[in-house]
Structure 1
Amino acid sequence: MTSSASEQTARLRVSRDTLAHRTLAALAQHRMVDTRQLQVMLLPGSRQRLSVALTTLRKERLVECITLPGANRLRAWYLTRGGARATEGWPELRDRPRHPITGKTVASLIAAHTRTVVDTHLAFVKDARARGDGHGPWDWSPETTHYLAEGDLLKADALLHYEAASLNGARVQLQAFVEVDRATGSSGKLASKLIKYARFYTHTPLPPGRRSAAHQPTAAPTWQRWYPVFPRLLFVLSNARAASYQHRIEDLQAMTAEHPLVARMASRVPLGAAVLSDLEEYGPRASVWTRLAGPPERWRTHESADRCAWTDL
């Protein structure tokens, strides 16, 4: 680069109102977004303007892309190191952890999962637009991390922020941890994620020198540092057959019923699972979510399914 990232963005006049600014912010927020996803996220109307902005940002070495496998030659975009530096300090990215993609090899390795997480986000975005709810590109925080005891950590695929309109016209602020599963691991491994969330739900910080919270009945749980109520927990399944979805939901329900910490969390925290294609076709506020607490259901038949919107879990 022959000039600094700040000089480049100045030449581009990347004010908060420009498409260039919003594109860089979206890539900083989500790490990687393909052209189709950017279109839906930022500019549902004009493809040409988006193409021009991406081409310009690439010439300025603020963004780079990979070409995804497939006949349509779709491109997935991410920030270069210069682009990451250029977006430092932007208000909409405050407190967003920075994990810049270091090259095309890394980009190729994370593309499938990262784009599926973005597709999940866009299902909520499109549904919110249709319903008049509040959820936009900056209301989705990927890779939200919390530290647990003994050096362990909880990393959610995303934290969802959502303003929903209730039937009586009131506005309700909701949050949810989102776990996106592409069936690349076992259903048991997926279900075990519930234990980490249950540990976070029950974790209480200890004063120096104490080994147990047993004698601190009034100590507030750690999660209250960040959340007024514990966020809902949503599992979004993709990239599998119907039988696999059934087994994975059954294993999530079994873990919820059988593990004491998870059962305790489930008595107070709404937990649900749904299939991404259902979210995209019907919307997340349609009756497509299976409750993880309660009796198991014959998931594939729909006959005994007591499904609901994620807001009604």
Structure 2
Amino acid sequence: MAPSPAEPLRLQVLTALALHRMATTSQLGQMLRPDSSRQLFSRVLNKLRSTGLVDLTPLPGRDRSRTHVWYLTPEGARLTRDLPLLRGRPPYPITSTTAASLKTPHTLTVLRAHLPFAADARRLGHEHGPWDWTPEVAHPIGEGERLVADAVMHYTLIDSEHRLKLRAFVEVDRTTMSSERLAVKLIEYARLFRYEAQPIGRRSPASAGATWLRWYPVFPRVLFVLTGASRARLTNRITDLQAMAAQHPLVAVLAREVPLGAAILEDIEQHGPLGAVWVPLAGGTPCRPWADL
């Protein structure tokens, strides 16, 4: 669901940058008002920049000197921190263009992964919009450690009289880490799946159940979105994820209870996330829509 056109575009842009951290002008247009012109967004962004609420940095790459990435200034982050949508989310001010440029590649790729889901939802009449994709969501997994998902997605499939609410942890891989380190993320999700926080001050603590139940009625499926290398190399990385799901005892338990899948970002963009582009990490039919994993 796109934001209501009744909301001022200026507020929508500030909210989107507060939630998604960074975006190009084109990405903001695709998220918020796909039918509006790029010039409209440029005018709004330049006005916000003149009032000190947003700033921009060039997109890295010699051939993209005219493309910029927008982000909130500390003043913009302060202004948006009390918005109902962002309540409870830590502020995310960026203090310099250098700091912005270091975060740009991964942040924009995570947002790029969101856009096909939003486009599918608009086309098919499902419920999923820019506020249903939350980047950098942290959960405790025990021993003082945390799992930080690249994004948590909420998506409602609407078919005739039925509504199916789906949730997913999304991990975006740009092939900047080793294949083994990527596969280790599955162990972290397996730890979250079984982690139960112990009440403080009791010798024989009574468990309140899995910690993830504080946030989700069912454990979200786990989706890996891969890009940044040749198809052969990305396919090998998916194979390594499947091997982890089969061989690691904790992950094997997770794979029996929770849908796990991986897909190549370019395939998602070409065929849509509801196309048969997802490889189930627990085996079975080689390619499926993500909702059927």
TM tier, smaller: over 0.9
Q: Residues 149, 238 of structure 1: CA spacing in aligned structure 2 closer, same or farther, 3 A cutoff?
A: same
Q: Which has the larger radius of gyration?
A: 1
- Please report how far the alpha carbon of residue 294 of structure 1 lies from its aligned counterpart in structure 2 after TM superposition: 2.1
Residue correspondence of structure 1 range 1-313 to structure 2 within 5 A? 17-44=7-34, 45-68=36-59, 69-72=61-64, 73-166=66-159, 169-208=161-200, 219-294=208-283, 306-313=286-293
Secondary structure of 2:143's counterpart equals helix
SS at match of 2:177: coil
1:147, 1:153 within 8 Å by CA — same for their partners in 2?
A: yes
TM-score, normalised via structure 1 length: 0.87
**Secondary structure at the counterpart of residue 114 of structure 1:** helix
- Give the secondary structure class of the aligned counterpart of 1:138: helix
Q: Which amino acid aligns with 1:308?
A: R
8 Å contact kept, 1:157–1:179: yes
1:230 partner SS: coil
Give the superposition deviation at 1:207. 2.9
Amino acid in structure 1 at the alignment position of 2:239: E
Q: Counterparts of 2:228 and 2:286 in 1: how far apart (Å)?
A: 24
Q: Is the 8 A contact 1:29 1:142 kept in 2?
A: yes
For the 8 Å contact 2:78–2:91, the answer to whether it is kept is no
Report the alpha carbon displacement of residue 273 of structure 1 after superposing the two structures with TM. Answer: 0.1
* 1:43/1:50 contact within 8 Å kept: no
Check the 8 A contact 2:54/2:72 in 1, yes or no.
Answer: yes
For these two proteins, the number of residue pairs brought into alignment is 286
Rounded to whole Å, the distance in 1 between the matches of 2:269 and 2:40 is 25
Amino acid in the other structure paired with 1:49: L
Q: Contact 1:206–1:212 (CA<8 Å) still a contact in 2?
A: no
Contact (CA 8 Å) 1:177, 1:232: kept in 2 or not? yes
The answer to whether the 8 Å contact 2:147/2:188 transfers is yes
Residue 210 of structure 1: how far off its partner (Å)? 6.1
Task: Quote the RMSD (CA, aligned, Å).
Answer: 1.8
Contact conserved, 1:66 with 1:76, CA < 8 A, in 2?
A: yes
- In structure 2, do the counterparts of structure 1 residues 212 and 257 end up closer, same or farther at CA, with 3 Å as the change threshold? farther
Distance 2:199 2:88 in 1: 26
Give, in angstroms, the shift of residue 175 of structure 1: 0.6
CA-to-partner distance for each residue in 1:84-113, whole Å, 9 max, x for gaps? 011121112222232221211111111111
Q: CA deviation at 1:123?
A: 1.1
What is the percent sequence identity of the aligned residues? 52
Contact 2:279-2:287 at 8 Å conserved across structures: yes
CA offset at residue 178 of structure 1?
Answer: 0.2
Shift in Å, 1:37 = 0.5
Any gaps of 5 or more consecutive residues in structure 2? none
Task: Verify the 8 A CA contact 2:153 2:169 in the aligned structure 1.
Answer: yes
Q: TM-score, normalised by structure 2?
A: 0.93
